[in-house]
Structure 1
Amino acid sequence: MFRPLTFLSVLALAVLAASLSACSPLKLVNAVSPDGDARATSAIHYGNGERQKLDVYQPAAQAGAAPVIVFFYGGNWVSGKREDYAFVGQALAKRGYVVVVPDYRLYPEARYPDFLDDSAQAVAWTTREIAKYGGDPKRLFVMGHSAGAYNAAMLALDKRWLGKQGVRPDALRGWIGLAGPYDFLPVQNKTTRPVFNYPDTPPDSQPVRHVSAGAPPALLIAAYEDKTVNPVRNTGALAMRLREKHVPVRELYYDGVSHATLVASLSRALHTLAPTLDAIDDFVRSDGGRQAAAR
């Protein structure tokens, strides 16, 4: 039998190996993530499209309306499905939050900015309907990993997207980005190029161009050894822009995780890789840092 740390190390390596093969590493993470601490409601339509569906995770035992986190997964806007991120919903629901995990249209069905319209539509659904699932729409946060962190950033920083859905900019109490690409022009990744209409990618597609003094507080987390999204150019530069505009931001970098295993560290099986879940919990529980600042 493996000792706990040895088992976690082996599991982390398995996740990394799977990410380089045809096997989904997220299926492995979900397989070892117990789901007894959350109640899930699946395949709720927030729009008319086949991929305009979402899952809601609620704490198994809940007293009163809980803060809400809408989580957008990554996949370079060409892949991903909400079922693979059940471990995120379960982990955050165990901490007492109501979690929404939406699908959104992907390339080639969609290009920029279609997936932002979908993401905003999912948030609009949440503001209207989440009270039925025990969530407090007045304590709403958006969160994402990788491409999903881009989606979350654009909803939080660029008022166009939520505005098109009739959602006020101050509807968000904060946002959380894990290993997000926030400044990637000119587009270098060949898979990403057609998604953003390269070489005619609009400059205002970049989150760093939409930082303003009225932006909601941010928690930005990245891996020091991220080989997919440069943490200095993206997380570091965006955090600097936010501070220049006096927007509250907490910026964290972790050793021992990669671009892929940063989000996997939210699972119960891999949570010791990095304190990602604790940082998110602290941020949301403190209302985006407002309560901590008031003390």
Structure 2
Amino acid sequence: MTVGVRISTHLFGRVRKYNELDLYVPPNANQCTPLLVFIHGGAWRSEDKADHAQLAMYLAVQGYTVAVVNYRLSLRNHPHEQPEVQHPDHIDDILDAIHYLIQTPPRSAVYDTTNIHLIGHSCGAHMAMMIILDPASCLKSIRGVIGADGIYDIPLLLQTFPDYTDFIEQAFGTDTSQFVHASPISKFAQHRLPPVLIVHSLEDSLVDLGQAKVMLQHLLSLDAKVQLDTSARGDHYDMLKTPEFIRAVKRFV
């Protein structure tokens, strides 16, 4: 453990483990400290907040309070059945976590409830972008969003990686006509969007740069303040551990 960083776990929903978040509070945190909310990836069906403890520590050392959020996963009870949890259940859980952090901040937490930045990795970036583009879930406390090696256009992803059909159908169902509607590139927000940073490693073998480019162009068409940063190196998961990614986050926030 990094000296001085306090870690605590909190339940924000009804399902223990899946509706929990870990808070990392640096020793110098105060009521003006930005809160970074990290949304993990894992194709909507895997990973856990504990997998990103090292990244949360790195960010907390930079002086930010960090919340790493779990959400319900799209898991099959039987091989040929669709999971009970499907889109937009994952997003609903993330929204519950954000509302919890804003409205009932835990006693162990020290941060500015009006200065929140979302950081989403892979499918977590999909969820972060869907949240800011949805007028119904527009939250003034969200001051910025960072998408890391994200998925933003599901039909385009399947054109590039046909083998991904299994996990996409597991999370979104088998009606392919709905895939575009479940993609951030199909959303046209009428409200003012917070600044967005799209980070993508050119060495990522699981999600290609085309996803970042199409999201960049869509946000520009909405007059959003958006940047594309390709300085981080490493494959899909390794890029989160690079100094370049940490620096990109720090510059943006």
Aligned mate of 1:82, from 36, 45, 49: 49
Q: Give the TM-score of the pair, scaled to structure 2.
A: 0.86
User: In the alignment, residue 92 of structure 2 is paired with which amino acid?
Assistant: D
One-letter identity of the residue aligned with 1:261: D
Contact preservation (8 Å) 1:173, 1:216:
yes
Q: State how far apart, in whole Å, the 1-side matches of 2:74 and 2:32 are.
A: 36
The answer for the alignment partner of 1:140 in structure 2 is: 116
Is there any run of 5+ residues in structure 1 with no aligned partner, and where? 1-33, 163-167, 266-270, 285-295
Count, aligned residues: 235
CA distance in 2, matches of 1:180, 1:146: 4
Q: Within the alignment, does 1:225 sit opposite 2:191 as a pair?
A: no
Q: Distance in 1 between matches of 2:232 and 2:74?
A: 32
Q: Distance in 2 between matches of 1:144 and 1:122?
A: 14
What SS does structure 1 have at the residue aligned with 2:154? coil
Q: Which residue of 2 aligns with 1:19?
A: none
- Cα 1:148–1:255 change in 2 (3 A) is closer
Shift of 1:131: 7.1
Alignment pair present for 1:185 and 2:155: yes
Q: Check 1:117–1:242 CA distance in 2 against 1; reply closer, same or farther (3 A cut).
A: same
Q: Who is 2:248 aligned against?
A: 279
The verdict on how the C-alpha distance between 1:223 and 1:204 changes in structure 2, with shifts beyond 3 A counting, is same
Q: Are the aligned partners of 1:223 and 1:259 in contact in 2 as well (CA < 8 Å)?
A: yes
For residue 155 of structure 2, give the secondary structure of its aligned residue in structure 1.
coil
Aligned to 2:15: 49
Rounded to whole Å, the distance in 1 between the matches of 2:181 and 2:74 is 20
Give TM-score, length-normalised by structure 1. 0.75
CA deviation after TM superposition for structure 1 residue 63, in Å: 4.3
CA contact (8 A) 2:29 2:64 kept: no
Going from structure 1 to structure 2, the CA distance change for 1:139 and 1:131 (only over 3 Å counts) comes to: farther
**Which one has a larger percent helix, Structure 1 or Structure 2?**
1
- Counterpart amino acid of 1:60? P
**Displacement after TM superposition at 1:101 (Å):** 0.8
Q: Structure 1, residues 42-76: CA drift from partner, whole Å, max 9, x if none?
A: 2x110111210111111123344300111001100
Q: Which amino acid aligns with 1:139?
A: N
Q: Which residue of 2 aligns with 1:11?
A: none
| Other-structure match for 2:130 | 154
- CA displacement at 1:237 relative to structure 2: 1.2
The residue that corresponds to 1:29 in the other structure is none
Q: Look up the SS of the partner of 1:130 in the other structure.
A: coil
User: Shift of the alpha carbon at 1:36?
Assistant: 2.1
1:237 equivalent among 184, 191, 214 = 214
2: CA distance, partners of 1:256 / 1:84: 19
Partner of 1:170: 140
Equivalent of residue 96 in structure 2, options 121, 143, 167: 121
User: Unpaired runs of 5+ in structure 2?
Assistant: 76-83
Residue 149 of structure 1, CA deviation: 1.0
Q: Following superposition of structure 1 onto structure 2, how do residues 88-127 of structure 1 map, counting pairs within 5 Å?
A: 88-108=55-75, 109-127=84-102
Residue pair 2:135, 2:189 contacting (<8 A) in 1 also: no
Please provide the CA RMSD for this pair. Answer: 1.8
Letter in 2 for 1:110: V
What SS class does the counterpart of residue 282 from structure 1 fall into?
Answer: helix
Question: Offset at 1:254?
Answer: 3.1
Shift of 1:152: 1.1
Post-superposition shift, 1:37? 4.7
Q: Secondary structure at the match of 2:117?
A: strand
Q: CA deviation at 1:211?
A: 4.1
Match of 1:48, as an amino acid? R
1:144 maps to amino acid: G
SS of residue paired to 1:143: strand
Q: Comparing 239-248 with 249-258, which one deviates more in the overlay? A: 249-258
After TM superposition, give the deviation of residue 159 of structure 1 in Å: 2.7
For 1:111, the aligned partner's letter is Q
Identity %: 26
